[in-house]
Chain A
Amino acid sequence: MSDGKRLIYILWPSFIVAGVATGVVFTVFDPTDLRFFDREITLSRTAVYSIGFFLFWLFAAGSSALTCFFQRSSADLNRPRGAPFDRPQTPPGKGTVH
């Protein structure tokens, strides 16, 4: 997988999830009722919605990134240092790695 494609796979699904999460969470909670470390939030609702959206995006992207990270094939992990990604490598004495 190219880096560009991987980036899209991380950012795009998390964008969709963040959109849904923002809609659901802020339907249920009114930003003006929320408290920030026990202090009143003085930001406008629009600001809280927007910041909330980006936080959700960040969290969801974190999850997507971890998925990508754990999905790396053994070929990726076994590859000699410095060799490019995604080219099936056959480390000495290990046979074919898929």
Chain B
Amino acid sequence: MNDPREGDAVVRAPKGGAGAAAVRNASEGEGAQALYAARKKIYPRTVHGRFDRWRWVLVWATQIVFYGLPWLTWNGRQAVLFDLAARKFYIFGFVFWPQDFIYLTALLIISALALFLFTAVGGRLWCGYACPQTVYTEIFMWIERKIEGGRAQRMLLDEAPVSARKVAVKGAKHAAWIAVSLWTGFTFVGYFTPITELLGAVAALATGPWETFWILFYGFATYGNAGWMREQVCKYMCPYARFQSAMFDRDTLIITYDAGRGEPRGPRSRKAVRAEIPLGDCVNCGLCVDVCPTGIDIREGLQYECIGCAACIDACDEVMGKFGYPRGLIRYSTENALAHGWDARKMVRRVLRARTLVYGAILFAVCAALAGALALRVPLKVDIVRDRASLAREVEGGRIENVYRIQVMNTQERAHRYRIGASGLPGIAVASDAQIEVPAATTRQVPLRIQIDPGTTAKGSHRIEVEVQSLDDAGVVAREQSVFLVR
């Protein structure tokens, strides 16, 4: 490796390193091993290369969105705000109410299907580049590297007896980790409560008890998961990692070691002529194991612990370069491609297959349904309940009156004036205020009195329809059924 911080003379545990030991430990399964307590700490070696650059691109992209989004404004309010205290979700131009949970459900179904489709095609690309666990681990490891130094220095530091320097270095690292964690916790809570007010409250040390609690809680989770748990989250806690095999098939993109080309592995001189040595291309340098954040040896084949981070590809490509061999001994490929020696074109053609077409078709249908529903969504909801205390009564002129409560929910971010009308029985009319003004994104509940002409309707209950029509927008209208009683 040409990493100046780590140099070539690296302290490395005997072949396989600490990582391999951890894997052997893990692969013994549910035995007597105390996996959490006694896990071997993994010191992934830093690696630079194509895929490492991609990961950093995604770290930046996802975190700019995550940390930045709550600060965007729209219509004079926070653009994305899940205002739990007011039970309203704002997402750019839309305001969602609990009654809109059907959209949320559709969104969840879309996410699940997209995940299935994406996983069937791209394997664990999500894990390797965009999963928060990966992204924060990457950030935390960067901090660790900046403060504690490279892999060898970190191992030495951990073995060293307690000293003022060790305490200072470790303290600085944890302080930096905690700072990032707290900011992350603050941003997280800022999605649920207006972030500018929250910042003011934090600055004045006047956050509410629950806000404080959740900032600390999320911050602590970040610190624990990215600083301490790391690959264990992927191995033992992530449900996605567990059921990925259900979505994988032989055409799924995975990280593979080309055993046909690499074996038999063995060390050799850099000057050895490739065609003349009785060895495959793997020089058995162990770098792929050293860089692996989950501490596995990809040469043993696909393992569920592999998060697809491609660090081993970067490491091996560099080694291949030094020996003048073509890169790609470890590479992105599919089981089928590897078995049949397919080229990239043939591999890409297999993206279209029964499984992905079915996932894709369902996904498209649900997306279209959601888009249609959102486009046709009327920003008005009406709910009518009969006043249980009063049944039908006779009022002046002998007319029969029923009393209701009407709830008018204006889900648009501008005020509306509505006309309330009733239909379904002879001479039916609204006797209470027939117009109602509802401010932007609010609900109003008012009593509603409906009367009909006397002597025209038989005794019993009759269906009626109440219509609420916006006076300034003909498209905003809602109808609601109810019952009119005649005694």
Residues of the A chain whose Cβ atoms lie less than 8 Å from the Cβ of B36: 2, 4-5, 8
Residues of the B chain whose Cβ atoms lie less than 8 Å from the Cβ of A16: 239
- Is B326 an interface position by the 8 A CB rule? no
- Is A1 an interface position by the 8 A CB rule? yes
Minimum C-beta distance from B87 to chain A (A): 6
Give complex CA distance A3, B36 in Å: 9
CB within 8 Å for A46 and B239 given contacts A2-B36, A4-B36, A86-B32: no
> Are B210 and A2 touching (Cβ within 8 A)?
no
- Proximity string of chain A (29-53) to chain B, C-beta cutoff 8 Å, 1 when within and 0 when not: 0100000000000001111011000
| Neighbour of A8 across the interface among B98, B104, B209, B237, CB < 8 A | B237
CB within 8 Å for A27 and B101 given contacts A8-B36, A46-B85: yes
Minimum C-beta distance from A71 to chain B (A): 11
Minimum C-beta distance from B376 to chain A (A): 22
Give complex CA distance A44, B35 in Å: 42
- Is B472 an interface position by the 8 A CB rule? no
- Proximity string of chain B (33-46) to chain A, C-beta cutoff 8 Å, 1 when within and 0 when not: 11111100000000
> Are B98 and A27 touching (Cβ within 8 A)?
yes
| Interface of chain A residues 42 through 97 with chain B (CB within 8 A) | 44-47, 49-50, 86-87
Give complex CA distance A28, B100 in Å: 11
Give complex CA distance A6, B124 in Å: 27
Minimum C-beta distance from B236 to chain A (A): 7
> Are A45 and B213 touching (Cβ within 8 A)?
no
Give complex CA distance A86, B37 in Å: 15
> Are B32 and A46 touching (Cβ within 8 A)?
no
> Are A4 and B210 touching (Cβ within 8 A)?
no
Minimum C-beta distance from A19 to chain B (A): 12
> Are B210 and A1 touching (Cβ within 8 A)?
no
Residues of the B chain whose Cβ atoms lie less than 8 Å from the Cβ of A5: 34-36, 236
Give complex CA distance A10, B87 in Å: 31
> Are B236 and A46 touching (Cβ within 8 A)?
no
| Neighbour of B210 across the interface among A3, A27, A30, A50, CB < 8 A | A50
Name the residue on A nearest B100 (C-beta).
A27
> Are A2 and B34 touching (Cβ within 8 A)?
yes
> Are A30 and B34 touching (Cβ within 8 A)?
no
> Are A47 and B37 touching (Cβ within 8 A)?
no
- Is B30 an interface position by the 8 A CB rule? yes
> Are A30 and B98 touching (Cβ within 8 A)?
yes
Give complex CA distance A45, B193 in Å: 12
Minimum C-beta distance from A37 to chain B (A): 22
| Interface of chain B residues 147 through 176 with chain A (CB within 8 A) | none
> Are B236 and A47 touching (Cβ within 8 A)?
no
Name the residue on A nearest B32 (C-beta).
A86
- Is B68 an interface position by the 8 A CB rule? no
Give complex CA distance A46, B38 in Å: 39
> Are A2 and B239 touching (Cβ within 8 A)?
no
Give complex CA distance A44, B213 in Å: 15
Minimum C-beta distance from B379 to chain A (A): 20
- Is B273 an interface position by the 8 A CB rule? no
- Is B214 an interface position by the 8 A CB rule? yes
| Interface of chain B residues 205 through 240 with chain A (CB within 8 A) | 208-211, 213-214, 236-237, 239
Give complex CA distance A46, B209 in Å: 10
Residues of the A chain whose Cβ atoms lie less than 8 Å from the Cβ of B344: none
CB within 8 Å for A46 and B84 given contacts A8-B236, A12-B237, A28-B98: yes
> Are A4 and B34 touching (Cβ within 8 A)?
yes
| Neighbour of A50 across the interface among B31, B98, B213, CB < 8 A | B213
Residues of the A chain whose Cβ atoms lie less than 8 Å from the Cβ of B84: 45-46, 49
Minimum C-beta distance from B273 to chain A (A): 51
Q: Which of A1, A44, A46, A47 has the most CB atoms of chain B within a 10 A radius of its CB?
A: A46
Minimum C-beta distance from B195 to chain A (A): 15
> Are A30 and B87 touching (Cβ within 8 A)?
yes
> Are B37 and A4 touching (Cβ within 8 A)?
yes
Give complex CA distance A82, B462 in Å: 76
CB within 8 Å for A45 and B239 given contacts A2-B35, A2-B36, A4-B36: no
Give complex CA distance A31, B36 in Å: 39
Residues of the B chain whose Cβ atoms lie less than 8 Å from the Cβ of A49: 84
Minimum C-beta distance from B193 to chain A (A): 8
Residues of the B chain whose Cβ atoms lie less than 8 Å from the Cβ of A12: 237
Residues of the B chain whose Cβ atoms lie less than 8 Å from the Cβ of A45: 84-85, 87
CB within 8 Å for A47 and B210 given contacts A2-B34, A4-B36: yes
Name the residue on A nearest B33 (C-beta).
A2
Name the residue on A nearest B237 (C-beta).
A12
Give complex CA distance A45, B83 in Å: 11
CB within 8 Å for A44 and B85 given contacts A2-B36, A8-B236, A16-B239: yes
Minimum C-beta distance from B207 to chain A (A): 11
Given contacts A44-B85, A46-B84, 20 further A-B contacts (CB under 8 A): A2-B33, A2-B34, A2-B36, A3-B34, A4-B34, A4-B36, A5-B35, A5-B236, A8-B36, A12-B237, A27-B101, A44-B210, A45-B84, A45-B87, A46-B208, A46-B210, A46-B211, A47-B209, A50-B210, A86-B32
Q: List 12 A-B contacts (CB under 8 A).
A: A2-B33, A2-B35, A5-B34, A8-B36, A8-B237, A27-B98, A44-B85, A45-B84, A46-B85, A47-B210, A86-B31, A87-B32
User: Which 3 pairs show the lowest CB-CB distances between chains A and B?
Assistant: A2-B34, A4-B36, A46-B210
